[in-house]
């Protein structure tokens, strides 16, 4: 450790796919502690597949996933969560018939001590005060933005080492997208380690410390978020300008 940046998550040479259809080709990626890392790329680039591999829902053909030197590659999803990787999945995947409070309770399921859970609840409400007002409403009654906040809160409440967010802006109005990105900035400033996958390339790159660009199942570019934003290739492919 020493004065070096501590590495949190390391994905090493991962190849993966569904049966014979290979999707990821020798993907390597790092997420550093306290940093916001972005993963961008067009639809079908393999971003979601990579997240499935990280969270244990898909086992890779080869390569490894390590968190602080612990090999997660062959662990089940619930063990990976317990070791500190929380994910906000695409489409949020809230429990629609459970209340906001019950959704949060599920997020904090493996926290055993009551005072820790209460502290984490207060921490969540300090970031997302609206959830406190909605505590006894069912998740399905929330608006899109509120639901996204609940999904982030549910993943954040277990005090993860890394928070992965898949498409935080999907299906939200531009105003809500701005609000969600403000919240993500706030989390970053509080020291949360983040890995964000998004289609809003310009928005996510402008707040990312480091970013990876994925295409056809391979990492084709990486660099500081703002630097990447300036490159011609990215402008051409994803922003439709230049």
Which residues are near other proteins by CB under 8 A? 55, 57, 76-79, 81-82, 86-87, 89, 93-98, 102, 105-107, 109-110, 154-155, 158
* Least CB distance to other proteins at residue 109 (A): 5
Neighbour count for residue 110 (Cβ, 10 Å) = 9
Nearest to 188 by CA among 166, 158, 156, 212: 156
CA torsion, ordered 110, 51, 33, 86, to nearest 10 deg? -20
CA torsion, ordered 45, 47, 50, 56, to nearest 10 deg? -140
Nearer to other proteins, 76 or 190 (CB): 76
Nearer to other proteins, 38 or 104 (CB): 104
**Phi and psi dihedrals of 174, rounded to 5?**
-55, -35
* Least CB distance to other proteins at residue 136 (A): 13
DSSP string, 17-28: EETTEEEEEEEE
* Least CB distance to other proteins at residue 35 (A): 23
CA 180 to CA 18: how far, in whole Å?
Answer: 32
Nearer to other proteins, 151 or 207 (CB): 151
* Least CB distance to other proteins at residue 153 (A): 13
Tokens 């406190």, residue?
132
108 contacts 117 by C-beta, under 8 angstroms: yes
Nearer to other proteins, 166 or 213 (CB): 166
* Least CB distance to other proteins at residue 166 (A): 11
Nearer to other proteins, 35 or 154 (CB): 154
């Amino acid at each position: 450790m020493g004065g070096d940046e501590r590495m949190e998550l390391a994905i090493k040479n991962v190849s993966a796919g569904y049966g014979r259809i290979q999707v990821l080709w020798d993907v390597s990626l790092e997420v550093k502690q306290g940093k916001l890392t972005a993963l961008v790329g067009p639809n079908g680039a393999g971003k979601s597949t990579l997240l499935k591999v990280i969270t244990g829902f898909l086992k890779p053909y080869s390569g490894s996933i390590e968190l602080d030197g612990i090999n997660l590659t062959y662990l089940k999803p619930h063990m990976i969560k317990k070791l500190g990787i929380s994910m906000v999945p695409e489409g949020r995947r809230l429990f629609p018939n459970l209340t906001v409070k019950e959704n949060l309770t599920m997020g904090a399921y493996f926290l055993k001590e009551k005072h820790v859970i209460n502290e984490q609840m207060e921490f969540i409400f300090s970031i997302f005060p609206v959830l406190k007002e909605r505590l006894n409403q069912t998740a399905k009654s929330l608006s899109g933005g509120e639901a996204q906040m609940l999904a982030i809160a549910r993943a954040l409440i277990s005090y993860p080492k890394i928070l992965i967010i898949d498409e935080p802006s999907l299906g939200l109005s531009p105003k809500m997208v701005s609000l969600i990105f403000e919240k993500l900035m706030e989390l970053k400033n509080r020291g949360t380690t983040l890995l964000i996958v998004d289609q809003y390339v310009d928005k996510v790159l402008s707040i990312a410390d480091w970013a990876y660009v994925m295409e056809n199942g391979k990492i084709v570019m990486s660099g500081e978020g703002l630097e990447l934003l300036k490159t011609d290739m990215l402008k051409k492919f994803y922003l439709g300008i230049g």
